[in-house]
């Protein structure tokens, strides 16, 4: 059985790691390269960097940042945030990113998944899915969770896999930011029919929550931001606890 992964996520704006609530009230909290290096030293398995700078200048800054990260950090890292074309994905992969993640563009231009995968390989393509419950079903959302779509979570996940994605990063909007735990039943259902890894995002507030989504939720990896950024949970402590409880992680 493959080891479960712990993945800190860093939002980046104009070259700095930022944190806020629903992208409002953003505060700079540190240099993304230094923070990434610290997480690597603590034992993180991978990192995710999301560019939330919308301007063209922001894109250039982020590409330069990716080069700096690749020179400094020796664990795999994924980059994303508004990638809408093959050329944008290629620029970031060529700058040194190990993987790219696409979200809204995958929904509206699903052929993009296959374009990137056929050129670079499926292992380079992570499709991020944001969804919320709508009655008995999970509805896929885009544009940072602001725009509704007619996509249903599980059928979309299956299509994403069929189109060549190497991983899925699913965020439950109902759980995101609550620190009340992940949507474990949804992750378990998704993992039951997919053959590609599933990364869980949204709801981490404790070591118990992370352990639950990796076991009961059958997720292959757990992603979190605030709990790591503000030192609420140390990765070393988290992994020691997981290992002691029988969860296969790399120490």
For residue range 77-87, list pLDDT tens digits in order. Answer: 999 988 999 99
> For strand 16-21 and strand 5-13, is the pairing parallel, antiparallel, or unpaired?
antiparallel
pLDDT for res 54 = 64
pLDDT for res 57 = 65
pLDDT for res 118 = 98
- The Cα–Cα gap between 143 and 130 comes to 9
Give 249's DSSP letter.
B
Inter-residue contact 17 to 229 (CB < 8 Å): yes
For the chain, the distance separating the N- and C-terminal CA atoms, rounded to the nearest angstrom, is: 16
DSSP state letters, 174-202: TTTTT-S---HHHHHHHHHH-SS-EEEES
Closest to 187 measured CA to CA, from 201, 174, 176: 201
Inter-residue contact 154 to 189 (CB < 8 Å): yes
> For strand 125-134 and strand 99-102, is the pairing parallel, antiparallel, or unpaired?
parallel
- The Cα–Cα gap between 3 and 137 comes to 31
Task: Given the residues 45, 130, 176, 220, select the one marked as catalytic.
Answer: 130
- The Cα–Cα gap between 45 and 250 comes to 8
pLDDT for res 124 = 98
Per-residue pLDDT of the chain (251 residues; tens, 9 = 90+): 789 999 999 999 888 998 875 455 678 889 999 999 999 999 999 999 999 876 666 678 799 999 999 999 999 999 998 899 999 999 999 999 999 999 999 999 999 999 999 999 999 999 999 999 999 999 999 988 889 999 999 999 999 999 999 999 999 999 988 889 999 999 999 999 999 999 999 999 999 999 999 999 999 999 999 899 999 999 999 999 999 999 999 99
Task: Given the residues 11, 45, 98, 176, select the one marked as catalytic.
Answer: 11
Q: Catalytic residue at 74?
A: no
Inter-residue contact 100 to 128 (CB < 8 Å): no
In this structure, which topology does domain 5-244 adopt according to CATH?
Answer: TIM Barrel (3.20.20)
pLDDT for res 60 = 80
Q: Catalytic residue at 64?
A: no
pLDDT for res 28 = 87
- Which residue blocks in 54-167 are alpha helix, DSSP H? 56-72, 86-94, 104-108, 111-120, 153-162
């Amino acid at each position: 059985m493959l080891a479960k992964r712990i993945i800190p996520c860093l939002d980046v704006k104009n070259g700095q790691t930022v944190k806020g609530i629903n992208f409002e009230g953003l505060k700079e909290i540190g240099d993304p390269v230094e923070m990434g290096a610290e997480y690597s030293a603590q034992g993180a398995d991978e990192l995710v960097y999301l560019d939330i700078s919308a301007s063209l200048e922001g894109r250039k800054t982020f590409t330069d940042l990716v080069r700096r990260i690749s020179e400094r950090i020796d664990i795999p890292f994924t980059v994303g945030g508004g990638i809408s074309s093959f050329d944008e994905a290629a620029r970031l992969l060529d700058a040194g990113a190990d993987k790219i993640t696409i979200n809204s563009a995958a929904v509206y231009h699903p052929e993009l998944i296959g374009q990137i995968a056929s050129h670079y390989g499926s292992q380079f393509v992570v499709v991020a899915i944001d969804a919320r419950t709508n009655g008995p079903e999970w509805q896929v959302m885009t544009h940072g969770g602001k725009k509704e779509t007619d996509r249903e979570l599980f059928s979309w996940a299956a299509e994403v896999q069929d189109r060549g994605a190497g991983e899925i990063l699913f965020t439950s909007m109902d759980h995101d930011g609550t620190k009340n735990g992940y949507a474990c039943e949804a992750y378990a259902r998704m993992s039951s029919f997919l053959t590609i890894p599933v990364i869980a995002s949204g709801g981490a507030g404790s070591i118990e929550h992370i352990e639950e989504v990796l076991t009961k939720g059958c997720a292959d990896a757990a992603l979190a931001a605030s709990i790591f950024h503000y030192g609420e949970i140390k990765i070393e402590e988290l992994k020691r606890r997981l290992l002691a409880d029988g969860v296969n992680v790399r120490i």
